[in-house]
């Protein structure tokens, strides 16, 4: 249950991610800077470890969303998908990510989509694990969204995509203020399909934003619903 928005700039890019979770799940911890394989890496984390988004000093952002449209789950106790971003956060290229993914126990993980944005390659990549096959897609360097929903993924995608399409026509589209407004949106109505999601059992619990450009990449994190309503 997440929404990721990517917007390339003249130099660098903006990326925003809403994380939707059960209300009973412990809140994530705020981002910290660490070193991984000689690179500065920034990411929030789960209390028990793992993360859902990261950016390194090369401007490579990695973000993971669950893939609810794929039926079935890993047998036995599944390996946490939170390990995937940690394993790939120091990647220097899309090829590097693919190599690292091949070394993970994917057969023990539930379906996911992994998004990788690489400024040097001028492309956004998407790796999809469906419990049987790991596939990769390269997307053009242009605005786009990725959407997941444990409530009704096929229903949420056209609704949120429609809101995104309308927002792209706004005069300040692509600005930080615009991105935060989009991820706070309750259009077309506050509920399970709105970008800032609200259900009786689940809610958007945080918003994370990455910006790259002339300076080192930065990460902004709000550990609550973007609209500040629970």
What architecture does CATH give domain 2-222? Answer: 4-Layer Sandwich (3.60)
Distance of alpha carbon 73 from alpha carbon 71, whole angstroms: 7
Task: Determine whether 180 is exposed, middle or buried from the number of CB atoms within 10 Å of its CB (0-12, 13-18, 19+).
Answer: middle
- Mean pLDDT on 197-217: 95
| No. of helices (H) and no. of strands (E), the chain | 4, 12
Write the CA distances from 7 to 1, 18, 40, integer angstroms.
20, 15, 23
Predicted TM-score (pTM) of this structure? 0.95
Give the position of tokens 């419990």. 131
> Average pLDDT of the chain?
95
- Mean pLDDT on 1-14: 94
Task: Check whether the bond before 121 is cis (ω within 30° of 0).
Answer: no
Q: Per this entry, what is the length of the chain?
A: 230
- Mean pLDDT on 23-30: 92
The residues spanned by each domain of the chain are 2-222
Q: What is the tens place of the pLDDT at every residue in 37-85?
A: 999 999 999 998 899 999 999 999 999 999 988 887 888 899 999 999 9
Q: What contacts 33, CB < 8 A, 6 or more positions away?
A: 40, 41, 42
Q: What contacts 65, CB < 8 A, 6 or more positions away?
A: 2, 4, 52, 112, 113, 115, 146, 147, 148
């Amino acid at each position: 249950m997440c929404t990721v928005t990517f917007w390339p700039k003249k130099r660098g890019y903006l990326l925003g991610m809403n994380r939707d979770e059960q209300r009973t799940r412990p809140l994530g911890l705020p981002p910290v800077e660490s070193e991984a394989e000689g690179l500065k890496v920034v990411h929030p984390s789960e209390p028990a470890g793992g993360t859902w988004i990261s950016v390194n000093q090369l401007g490579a952002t990695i973000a993971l969303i669950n893939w609810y449209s794929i039926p079935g789950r890993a047998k036995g106790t599944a390996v946490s998908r939170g390990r995937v971003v940690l394993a790939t956060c120091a990647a220097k290229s899309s090829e590097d990510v693919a190599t690292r993914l091949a070394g993970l126990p994917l057969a023990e993980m539930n379906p996911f989509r992994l998004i990788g944005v690489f400024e040097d390659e001028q492309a956004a990549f998407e790796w999809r694990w469906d419990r049987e096959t790991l596939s990769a897609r390269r997307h053009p360097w242009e605005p786009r969204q990725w959407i997941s929903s444990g409530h009704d993924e096929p229903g949420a995608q056209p609704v949120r995509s429609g809101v995104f399409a309308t927002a792209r026509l706004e005069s300040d589209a692509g600005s930080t203020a615009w991105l935060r407004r989009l991820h706070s949106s309750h259009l077309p109505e506050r509920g399970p399909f709105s970008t800032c999601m609200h259900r009786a059992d689940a809610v958007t619990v945080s918003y994370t934003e990455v910006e790259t450009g002339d300076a080192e990449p930065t990460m902004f994190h709000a550990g609550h619903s973007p609209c500040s309503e629970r």
